Amino acid sequence: MVKNLTSIQSAASRPARLAALKQSFQDWNSSPDLLTRLARRLSTTLSLETQLGILVEEIQGVIPFDAMNYRHRIARQDFVFSTGMGGPHRCEYALNLDGHYYGTLTFHRRQKFSDEELSGFEMVIAAAICPIRNSCQFIAIEQAALTDSLTAIGNKRAMDEDLVRAAALSGRHGTEWSLVLCDLDHFKQINDSHGHVVGDHILARTAEQLERSIRTSDTVYRFGGEEFAILLPHTSLEEAREVADRARDAISRIRVDGGDEPVGVTASCGVAVHLSDENPEQWLIRADEALYRAKAQGRNCTRTFAMIS
């Protein structure tokens, strides 16, 4: 009897609870309070750049400043956000949550910040740090999906996406983009003779040498077992060939402890410059054909392919 009465009372109170929930949602959704509005706006996106733009808008309404800068290194990449022109006075906040670091925010102004304004910054940052943490983690997850776990450079998925983007930019602006494919010569023999641990060291060292051989605007990928690629913006066919030869030279100097003696490796390279109206697959096929020629003509050399055959 008591149990039935409790159930009846609970059922009777549900409409009141639902009405209270509806009112609470309406209050939250229309609240003029800065912290509530900020939390609501930040929760609508996982774009860190968008979140920082929202942060600028909301803080400017209560604490005037001349510039805001945010800096963080996420998944081996620097993320920088800046707005405005700096002044001689600044306040800086390291964003730490649960023992993890999520970047540094710096505010600049020509006039010194008051103690009340500094307290205001702290309150706003406390409300923003969880959404910022979520966006940083989202970026890290996205980058992990595009990164080769052994060498920490881009994987095939990253290369495919970047080739699509590069082909579009090349076609739209008429700029030269070149693609270099590198394949380690007789790599299977290294694995068979010295084991996969040595082979993995060779692959990791190859990625390091390739990254040291290129400009900051160039990108290196591992898109197969012992296959690497270099994407070169604003680079002619001859310039790309020079990059390929420099990369081969760097790879040839790799030495890994193989037990009885150091283990080295050489590489073959194929080069193709993007052609007008050519899709990424055609571009990749021509670079691969050039690589095949390098393999067929003795290995440890570079061959180019400029025209569709």
Q: What is the pLDDT of residue 75?
A: 81
Domain boundary among 145, 172, 191: 145
Q: Can you tell me the mean pLDDT for 243-265?
A: 93
pLDDT in tens, 222-238: 999 999 999 999 999 99
Q: What percent of the chain has pLDDT over 70?
A: 92
Residue where a domain terminates, one of 124, 145, 166: 145
Residue 36 structural domain: 31-145
Same domain, 165 and 300: yes
The alpha carbon of residue 96 and the mean position of all alpha carbons in its chain are separated, in whole angstroms, by 21
Report the sign of the C-alpha dihedral through residues 210, 148, 219, 160, in that order.
positive
* Cβ-defined contacts of 78-83 (< 8 Å, 24+): 79/48, 79/103, 79/139, 81/48, 81/49, 81/52, 83/53, 83/56
The string of pLDDT tens digits covering residues 32-78 is 788 999 999 999 999 999 999 999 999 999 999 999 999 999 987 89
Mean predicted confidence (pLDDT) in 158-164: 95
- Over residues 256-276, the mean pLDDT reads 92
C-alpha 231/C-alpha 218 separation (Å) is 6
pLDDT reading at 13 higher than 60: yes
- Residue 106 sits in a domain whose CATH number is 3.30.450.40
Task: Report the pLDDT value the prediction gives residue 309, as an integer from 0 to 100.
Answer: 38
Q: Is the dihedral of CA 97, 99, 100, 105 positive or negative?
A: positive
Backbone angles phi, psi at 95, to 5 degrees: -90, 105
Q: Does any domain span residue 110?
A: yes
The residues carrying an active-site annotation are 226
- Both 49 and 103 in a single domain? yes
Of the candidate ranges 25-29, 158-162, 180-184, 202-206, the one whose mean pLDDT is the lowest: 25-29
Angle between helices 237-252 and 196-212 (to 10 degrees): 140
Q: Dihedral of the CA atoms 142, 199, 256, 207 (nearest 10)?
A: -30
- Do 200 and 135 belong together in one domain? no
- Average of per-residue pLDDT values in the chain: 91
For the segment 118-122, the average pLDDT, to the nearest whole number, is 96
Mean pLDDT of 16-33: 70
Question: How far is residue 118's CA from residue 106's CA, in Å, rounded to a whole number?
Answer: 12
Is 107 strand, coil or helix?
A: strand
- 97 pLDDT above the threshold of 70: yes
Is 103 strand, coil or helix? strand
Percent of the chain residues topping a pLDDT of 90: 80
Domain count, the chain: 2
Model's pTM, two decimal places?
0.74
Instruction: Tell me the three state secondary structure of residue 175.
Output: coil
Query: CATH number for the domain including 254?
Result: 3.30.70.270
138 lies in the same domain as 164: no
pLDDT over 90 at 308, yes or no = no
- 77 contacts 48 by C-beta, under 8 angstroms: no
Largest CA distance in the chain: 92
Domain end point (choices 121, 145, 169): 145
In a domain, 227, yes or no: yes
User: Is pLDDT at 174 greater than 70 in this prediction?
Assistant: yes
CA neighbor of 229 nearest in space, from 219, 238, 237: 219
Instruction: Tell me what the mean pLDDT of segment 135-156 comes to.
Output: 94
At 11 the pLDDT is: 60
Domain assignment present for residue 202? The answer is yes
In angstroms, the CA 149 to CA 238 distance is 32
